[in-house]
């Protein structure tokens, strides 16, 4: 029997949406244990620690960080599904008078971890309408237009931001990794009235059908 696919989310509500989508789209005679869905906590530290613990207790074939996210206006609209070409820790580095210096420029490692090419190809084939681009990982969610503009300028290929992808990718440590998100709100000033959580969770359930392809 092949090893299962591990799908991790920040919060239980995301995990429940994914499980519902998997159950609705399961191919005939599919073993539900082939995809394991677990909430791991909010933020890159909790995501890395809990994912690492899960990977020490069971062997998995690949790891996917999934959930809802904020979308960059003009790049990923509300309700869209996005797939990360790379997961980038956007606030890992140092400030300087000239602007933010990513850890890569400081010579202390990398802030960018690419998705596994084969896993990414399988997901994009199963989700042809998904928007591909970088997904940022931040410990502090963007809440101002100024920060949103700075991030958009620094990362012209970024389509969304969340809080766990880079931590999960770090913990995967050689296992195939990918990040899948659906857009609940635009990045920028916090306007709860503009959030579309119900639609984002519904889109997450729908997109979860692609995980059976990734598991195959």
- Give the pair of three-digit tokens for residue 37: 């869905």
Q: Rounded to whole angstroms, how far apart are CA atoms 25 and 207? A: 10
pLDDT at 191: 81
Question: Which residues in the chain show pLDDT less than 70?
Answer: 1, 29-32, 215-216
Radius of gyration of the chain (CA): 16
Helix, strand, or coil (residue 74): coil
pLDDT at 1: 53
* Domain carrying residue 110: 5-215
Q: Rounded to whole angstroms, how far apart are CA atoms 180 and 124? A: 10
Helix, strand, or coil (residue 69): strand
Q: What is the pLDDT of residues 143-177, one digit of tens each?
A: 999 999 999 999 999 999 999 999 999 999 889 99
Q: How many domains does the chain have?
A: 1
pLDDT at 190: 83
- Pairing assessment for the beta strands 62-71 and 5-9 based on DSSP bridges: parallel
Q: Rounded to whole angstroms, how far apart are CA atoms 51 and 53? A: 5
Q: What pTM value is reported for the model?
A: 0.93
CATH of the domain at 40: 3.40.50.1580
């Amino acid at each position: 029997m092949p090893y299962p696919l591990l799908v991790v989310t920040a919060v239980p509500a995301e995990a429940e949406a994914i499980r519902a989508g998997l159950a609705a789209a399961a191919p005939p005679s599919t073993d539900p244990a082939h995809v394991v869905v677990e909430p791991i906590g909010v933020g890159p530290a909790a995501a890395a620690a809990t994912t690492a613990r899960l990977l020490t207790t069971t062997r998995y074939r690949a790891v996917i960080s999934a959930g809802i996210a904020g979308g960059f206006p003009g790049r990923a609209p509300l309700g869209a599904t996005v797939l990360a070409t790379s997961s980038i820790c956007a606030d890992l580095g140092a400030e300087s008078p000239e602007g933010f210096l990513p850890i890569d420029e400081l010579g202390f490692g990398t802030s960018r971890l690419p998705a596994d090419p084969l896993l990414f190809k399988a997901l994009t084939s199963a989700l042809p309408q998904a928007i591909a681009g970088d997904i940022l990982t931040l410990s502090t969610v963007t809440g101002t237009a100024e920060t949103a503009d700075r991030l958009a300028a620094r990362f012209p290929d970024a389509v969304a931001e969340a809080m766990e992808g880079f931590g999960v990718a770090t913990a995967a440590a050689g296992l195939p990794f990918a990040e899948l998100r659906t857009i609940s709100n635009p990045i920028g000033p916090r306007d709860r009235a503009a959030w579309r959580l119900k639609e984002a969770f519904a889109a997450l359930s729908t997109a979860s059908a692609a995980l059976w392809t990734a598991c195959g």
